[in-house]
Amino acid sequence: MACNSTPMGTYEYLLNVSNTLDAGATPLSAPLRISLAIMMLLMIVVGFLGNTVVCIIVYQRPAMRSAINLLLATLAFSDIMLSLCCMPFTAITLVTVRWHFGDHFCRLSATLYWFFVLEGVAILLIISVDRFLIIVQRQDKLNPRRAKMIIAASWVLSFCMSVPSFTGWTFMEVPARAPQCVLGYTEFPAERAYVVTLVVAVFFAPFGVMLCSYLCILNTVRKNAVRVHNQSDSLDLRQMSGAGLRRLRRQQQQASLDLSFKTKAFTTILILFVGFSLCWLPHSVYSLLSAFSRRFYYSTSFYTTSTCVLWLSYLKSVFNPIVYCWRIKKFREACIELLPQTFQILPKVPERIQRKIQPSTVYVCNENQSAV
């Protein structure tokens, strides 16, 4: 069943064997497979449209091209490419229980899968570190020029990490043992080392860094809330003049708004982090077990497990725009603005009272602004 350490001339034979004689493959029932495929097609539509809105907002409005917005647009673009380049073929294979696109394209689709996933994770990691530097260290060093350089470097690094799976560096199992090319069982140390490196780069290392960043951010926000509350309680308002009292109230209101912005933005980031963790922890454990556990890899439940973890990992590409629409009012307004008039149910707001979307509307940009 392997596609690795095998002469090129035997690939087609192995593909046919995998599609016809694999006793270890136990496909799901037809109604369940069709239901999962339909849900996957719906995920493609929602992920494509939602992430396209993010890219369009940043592209059409020059004022929106701040550093953090460029990162979010790159994250959305990687999710779009994952939805278009990998999910449709997995959905077709899920329905037919057969790979119809050739063994070389199977390897290519697996490479693209890891490529776009790695890029999305890299952007999430960059955003987390940037939020840590701004909120905890009070250092806002990321400008659009540096963001573009970091984005270019992340694409190159993600490509270098994923391309060995296409060149035959590791074992790749073609369907029908799984609905797409997945990492398979191997006893070669070099191949196992690559699997460990890939899984650590995709999940465990980013998870550790992001978890530490968010814990530090949470601690800082909590301390700021306590400090603002203590300052308010310690002041004797009766001894202050009218002007001083008004100035103090303005300062307290500004500090309260700043804290509210930070807390709301942090909550949104935390939700994205939780979604990333829930979607990718099962897939990371599954990939390690596939490469190291012969019993798990040749078990009759391997197909079912593969289908579930792959479906869950693809859900990540749909998760972000749903969170934006749920948490960010400006994102909902932008979605309504982009809809054609024939699809808009609510009356259009007059131009003179419409809010303009500022560069801060896609993320927290500095100490006194908030965004998506």
CATH number of the domain at 88, please. Answer: 1.20.1070.10
Asked if residue 345 belongs to a domain, the reply is: no
Asked if residue 190 belongs to a domain, the reply is: yes
Per-residue pLDDT at 153:
96
Asked if residue 41 belongs to a domain, the reply is: yes
Angle CA 111–181–198, to nearest 5: 50
Asked if residue 77 belongs to a domain, the reply is: yes
Residue 29 burial class via C-beta count within 10 angstroms: exposed 0-12, middle 13-18, buried 19 and up:
exposed
Is the confidence at residue 268, as pLDDT, over 90?
Answer: no
Asked if residue 171 belongs to a domain, the reply is: yes
Number of domains in the chain: 1
pLDDT tens across 317-350, in order? 888 888 888 877 777 777 777 766 545 554 454 4
pLDDT tens across 34-76, in order? 888 899 999 999 889 889 988 888 888 777 778 888 998 999 9
> Please, how many CA atoms are within 13 Å of residue 7, restricted to the half-sphere of its CB?
3
Asked if residue 257 belongs to a domain, the reply is: yes
Domain that holds residue 220: 31-235+242-340+352-361
Asked if residue 367 belongs to a domain, the reply is: no
Give the confidence band of 260 by pLDDT, cuts at 50, 70, 90: low
Q: Is 14 in contact with 54 (CB distance < 8 Å)?
A: no
Q: Taking all residues of the chain, what is their mean pLDDT, rounded to a whole number? A: 77
Tokens of 283: 């897939």
**pLDDT (mean) for 257-279:** 73
**pLDDT (mean) for 66-92:** 90
Asked if residue 20 belongs to a domain, the reply is: no
Of 24-38, 168-182, 221-235, 267-281, the range with the lowest mean pLDDT is 221-235
